[in-house]
Every structure is written in C-alpha cells, then in structure tokens.
Chain A
Amino acid sequence: MAEENTRLWLMFPARLITRPIVWELAMKFPVVTNVRQASVNEEVGLVSLSLTGERDAIKASIAWLEELGVKVEPVEINTIEG
C-alpha cells in the first residue's frame, strides 16, 4: 500500500493539554508525525501536524485522536461554508 501524507490541525481541550498525545500517537500507530506549528493556553491547545503513513494507519490515528476528545480538522480547518 502506498504511503500518503495528511496535513491536520489538532485542537486539544484543556484536560488533554498536558498529555504527550503526539508521542503516544507515534508509538501506537505506524505513522510519521511532524509538528509544524503549535500554541497552547490554559483553555485550548492547537497543533499543526503532518502525518505520513499508509491510509489505514492514518485513518486509525485520526479515529484514536477523536476518541480521546481531540478535534481533528483538515489543514484548511473549515472547508464547508454557509
């Protein structure tokens, strides 16, 4: 299966801000993580992340992040407008 690259914005709720989620993700799934930008305050954490791997691994990574409560958006953040 060919490797794919996906560009995402992750938005962490306050309760997950201190958890090393990007490290956990790389340990749990066969994907390469590459952080390009990040900012954190007491209410929300934002991380722009490039994920490289097989399609199924990327999909499983996203599903795991969402299950934890991380909001996962495409690089555009929002493609659907009014």
Chain B
Amino acid sequence: MDRNFFSNLKCRECGKLYAKKAIHVCDFDFGPLEAVYDYAAIRGVLTRQLIESRPQSMWRYRELLPIDGAPTVGTQVGFTPLVKADRLAKALGLRELYVKNDTVNYPTLSFKDRVVSVALSRALELGFEVVACASTGNLANSVAANAASAGLKSYVLIPADLEQGKVLGSLVYGANVIAIHGAYDQVNRLCSEIAGKYGWGFVNVNLRPYYAEGSKTMGFEIAEQLGWRLPRHTIIPMASGSLLTKIHKAYKEFIDLGLVDKAPFSVHGAQATGCAPITHALKRGTDMVKPVAKPQTIAKSLAIGTPADGYYAIHSMNQTGGTAEDCTDEEIVEGIRLLAECEGIFAETAGGVTVACAKKLVAAGHIPADESAVLCITGNGLKTQEAMLNQCGAPRTINPSLREFEDRIYQPDQSAVAH
C-alpha cells in the first residue's frame, strides 16, 4: 500500500484525538479510543475492482484497517465462506438466509484470528517483542498461534480453574501460559495491572483500538460476498458487544465510501439468558448496562458480566432498528444441532446462541420472513464439544454380522436389493 489512511485514535466519548500509540483510554474521561481514517482520501482510491483484484483474505480491505504499512501477521486470515443456508432458512421460516462461517477461519477456527492479526501486525509496527492477552478460550489460542508464526514471544493469562482442553490449545504453540488463582474480579484487575506495568503489547488492553477494528472485516466480507450489498438483518453474538458495533461501523463505512448502495439494515444482538446484560438493558429501554455478577451459561465465550462495549452496542441496535434476544442453555444446544443438521456446520456454543436468538427474532416478527438475513457464526464446535456430550445420542453397536445389521439396523426394501 503506497499511502497511509489511518490518521488517529479518537475518544468515543469526548472526541479528543490521540497519536497512534499503544493506548486505549482517554486521559480525560476514561472513554475508549477508536481508530479513525482519512475517508476523503480513501474514497478516491478504494474501489470494488481494487478490492476484488487482491488475495482472498481480510487484508483486501487494508485501507480501512489501523496499520501503517503492509500486514505482517495473519496475512491469510479471513474471507471465510458466506453460505446460502436454504435448509436452515426453511427451518427458521425465512426466505433468504446466509451463514457467515468463521468456524473455518484460519488458523485457529474462530473470528478472533481477525482481531489478533490486526493487533499483532500493529504490535510489530510499534516495536513490541512480547505480546499478551487474558482469555478463557478462543482469544488465547489465536494469540498463541499467530504470535508463534510471527516469531513473537507470547504470554497468555488464564483463570486457574480453566479446563485442560482449552489450555492445550495455547500451550501447543509454545506460549507462556500463566494460570492465576482467585475470583474473576481479582484476576481481571491483576491483568490490567500487568498490562500497565510491563512493556508488553496486550492485545485486548493497550492494543485494543487496533484489535477491535479487525472485527470490521467480517462485515466487509458479508457485504462483498452478497454481491456488494448489505443484508437487511444481521444477527451477531454479544460478549463485550464489540463485534456488533464493528459490523455496524463496517456497513456504515462501505455506504459512506460508495462501495454499497445506501439501504436500510438492522444489526441484532444475541446473548445467553444466563449472561444477558446487554439484551436486558435494551429490552428495558435503557443504555446503562447492569452487570451480571455470576454468569451461568454453557456459552462461556459470551459470559462477560460487565460488557465494555454494551452501551455502544445498544446504540448501534437502536440506530439501525435492531433488537436483542437471549436464549436458554437448552435452546443453545438445539441451535447448534439445527445448524449442524441443516447446513453441515458444527458451531461452538456462541453459534448456538446466534441461531436460537434468530429463531426467536423471526417468531416475534422482528425479522420478517421475506427479508434477507445473515447469521454470524464465530467459532468452531470442536472447541466446545463438552456442551454437546450426551445431547446427540450414541452410536448403535453390533457384531460383524450382516444378519445382525439387517435385524437391528437397516431393513432394506427387498425389491431394491441388487443381486
């Protein structure tokens, strides 16, 4: 890329501008900082043809991502399939439905590879040699893998009671995995202290303005893969609420740059009932999110009781005429099975949340049957298999005998048996 269009960081509360450093909150009001760009300059350069001429990765939209030079980490991330989901559409009562399938995102099978590749590309530009994160799952795996491939040293902080299977997905890449004893709040504050004290690039702390922008690429890809148009409805799982706000931003940027026609679109949020602070605030008609002290849900990747971007997510939904839903653990399991059985896609629990909430939104009339919709499926089911244990039946066992096979398993229509 010859020119640099990423101009500043800006406080989302007061609008104060900051230099493009490893900082993430405003000195004045502690508001979050966000990347801003020289859109007038981008408008003269970025065209559909230019984007289409580039390799199929999330970096084909690099003018709208917050790095100065060419990407260096995760250059093959993104451009996951947008699947036309006709069988699921029928099951949900919709005419035109698509699944944005980040269960096959490269390299660690979740949308987190998008945000991490931006954060680590920027970390290298800023001169960091050590990168870190605090995570209970997908983010940890992605930081560990992408740091390994970039030759960066990585630290992954986890609560000490995390399941072994999730720890392995970070250890295998040679990351320094540090398990911390204590209640969630104490672990959370320690991570903040560590991030503030050492000269590390903490992807979801001091690199957060860069990290968060990576989520926009999911929205860019949806619009391009739909033939350069926006879906009328997009259903997005919410943990911190960041992904929803960034897909909203992505759609607005494409409209402002003339890459898609201006048309009404709605972003809808999906949460698990056991941790639904954003949904509950929206339904109460307020933008002040009441924390959930003890999240109780199998959708652990969404179990953030104090969502940092909840306020902004509510505004995105309100501005676009969107709404939010929540679903029980049983409905999550049913959602995972429905997606798997209809489309052959095995999603993690967050995917079950998205499908289950979409079903409710359609039933309630928030998504009319004749309008297009996209479900954002953000992670692979192989990572949360424990949620589906004993939920899918068991294989039927027989001896190696054709008679037993026919007696117990399958009775063929005699006229159809070949001789």
Contact = CB atoms under 8 A, between A and B. Distances in A.
The answer to whether A binds B is yes
Interface of A: 7, 9, 11, 36-37, 39, 41, 43-44, 46, 48, 62, 66, 71-82
The 6 closest A-B pairs by CB, nearest first: A82-B301, A74-B192, A79-B191, A77-B308, A48-B30, A80-B134
B291 A11 contact: yes
Contacts of B239: 81-82
Interface in B187-220: 187-189, 191-193, 195, 202, 204-205, 208
B302 interface: yes
Given A44-B288, A71-B293, A82-B304, 7 more contacts: A44-B290, A73-B185, A73-B189, A73-B306, A76-B205, A78-B188, A79-B192
Interface residues of B, number: 47
A37 B303 CA distance: 26
B286 interface: yes
Contact of B288 (A36, A39, A73, A79): A39
B324 interface: no
B31 interface: yes
Contacts of A82: 135-139, 239, 300-304, 350
Question: Main SS of the interface on chain A?
Answer: strand
A42 to B, nearest CB: 9
Contacts of A62: 189
Interface string B278-322: 000000101011110100000011111011100000000000000
Contacts of B290: 43-44
A24 B134 CA distance: 33
Contacts of A80: 134-136, 157, 159, 184, 187-188, 191, 304
A75 B30 CA distance: 7
B298 to A, nearest CB: 12
B25 A75 contact: yes
Contact of A71 (B139, B288, B306): B306
B65 interface: no
A81 B306 contact: no
B410 interface: no
21 contacts: A7-B30, A36-B28, A37-B30, A41-B288, A44-B289, A71-B291, A73-B185, A73-B189, A74-B193, A76-B25, A76-B204, A76-B308, A77-B306, A78-B188, A78-B304, A78-B307, A78-B308, A79-B188, A81-B135, A81-B138, A82-B136
A15 to B, nearest CB: 13
Contact of B306 (A11, A41, A48, A66): A11
Contacts of A9: 30
Contacts of B202: 79
A30 B192 CA distance: 23
B9 interface: no
Nearest to B26: A36
A79 B303 CA distance: 13
A37 B288 contact: no
A35 to B, nearest CB: 10
B146 interface: no
A74 B288 contact: no
Contacts of A39: 288
A73 B191 CA distance: 11
Interface in B123-182: 133-139, 157, 159
B288 A43 contact: yes
Contacts of A48: 29-30
